[in-house]
Amino acid sequence: MLTRRDLGKLAISALPASALAAKLNSKVNGVMIGAQTYSFRDRPLDEAIRGLSEVGLAYVELWQGHIEPPKGSPEEVKKWRNSPETVTKMKEVRKKFQDAGIQIYALNYSFRPNNSDEEITQGMEMAKALGTKYITASSVVSLAPRIQPLAKKAGVTVAMHNHSNLKPDEFARPEDFEAGMKGNSDIGINLDIGHFTAANFDPVDYLEKHHQHIVTMHIKDRKKNQGANVPFGEGDTPIKEVLQLLKARKWAIPAMIEYEYKGADTVAEMKKCYEYCKQALA
């Protein structure tokens, strides 16, 4: 004889994955909390999706390392970037996330000066196949004028990612973002608040003044003065203040957790990071 509990389990197992995944929700008091899938760089795509589901995160910025040929040489990656089949395969990747109830909010796909216009355009077509009009990119300021018309033609926005490298042509300082966006309406910002803090800038003030240009944010904790990545709450990055500002202003800017400090199990650490964000928004 089957018990009521057994019947319940059978009913749940009969549901399609998409129906179960529909319950996944990581919007906390109006703020979208997600992940840069680079956080799960220790595992392939399918396992990363399982990890995201276990943590309970419903939004992602999809790291290019999860879709490029594993351990591919520069020549293999270049060939993959230029293959028409790559765009088609992105539809399969999109379905995997959809079945897990996870939205690909942006594709993280970096552009460097040695990338051809065809490679850059291919990345934009990949983003659209994944169901997003946003790309986040580690790039250089001088490349923005070449990217902008390609982005405009493709109908996407390329958000430049900052590091803490205070060097010419790098995105690190507020004026670097300003130079990259100058006259470029299709160039936005992917603000990494940990790197911004490590470079001794104030992400709260910058968010307040330039929120209209910020496509996504990377949430991590670092010390000032080029300090190390540390567990959430142990550094100088004003994570709580940033999240509270997003909540108060109701800005639709996803806060993507990026796990980079030295921890134990990735899923366990991501759960800690997510819990910290939830407490900050309570």
Q: What is the pLDDT of residues 58-83, one digit of tens each?
A: 999 999 999 999 888 889 988 998 99
Asked if pLDDT for residue 207 goes beyond 60, the answer is yes
Q: Is residue 5 part of a domain?
A: no
- pLDDT tens track for 11-68: 444 444 444 445 789 999 999 999 999 999 999 999 999 999 999 999 999 999 999 9
CB 177, CB 171: distance < 8 Å:
yes
Domain containing residue 197: CATH number = 3.20.20.150
**Residue 248 placed within a domain:** yes
Q: State how far the Cα of 35 lies from the Cα of 220, in Å rounded to an integer.
A: 11
236 within some domain = yes
Q: Does residue 29 belong to any structural domain of this protein?
A: yes
Q: What is the DSSP letter of 102?
A: -
Mean pLDDT on 198-219: 98
Alpha-carbon separation of residue 239 from 97, 182, 187 (angstroms): 27, 28, 25
> What's the CA dihedral at 71, 58, 161, 266 to 10 degrees?
-50
Report the C-alpha gap between 200 and 236 in whole angstroms.
10
Under 8 Å between Cβ of 158 and 151: yes
Residues 6+ apart with CB under 8 A from 268: none
Identify the pLDDT of residue 72. 81
Average pLDDT of the residues of the chain: 93
190 occurs within a structural domain: yes
| Sign of the C-alpha dihedral computed for residues 203, 208, 212 and 217 taken in this order | positive
Q: Give the Cα separation of 72 and 70 in Å (integer).
A: 5
Let me know if residue 25 belongs to a domain.
Answer: yes
Average pLDDT over residues 257-268: 96
Is 182 within the bounds of a domain?
yes
What total number of domains does the chain contain? 1
Range of the domain at 273: 20-280
**Residue at 76 is within a domain:** yes
How much is the pTM?
0.91
Query: Given this model, what pLDDT does residue 39 score?
Result: 98
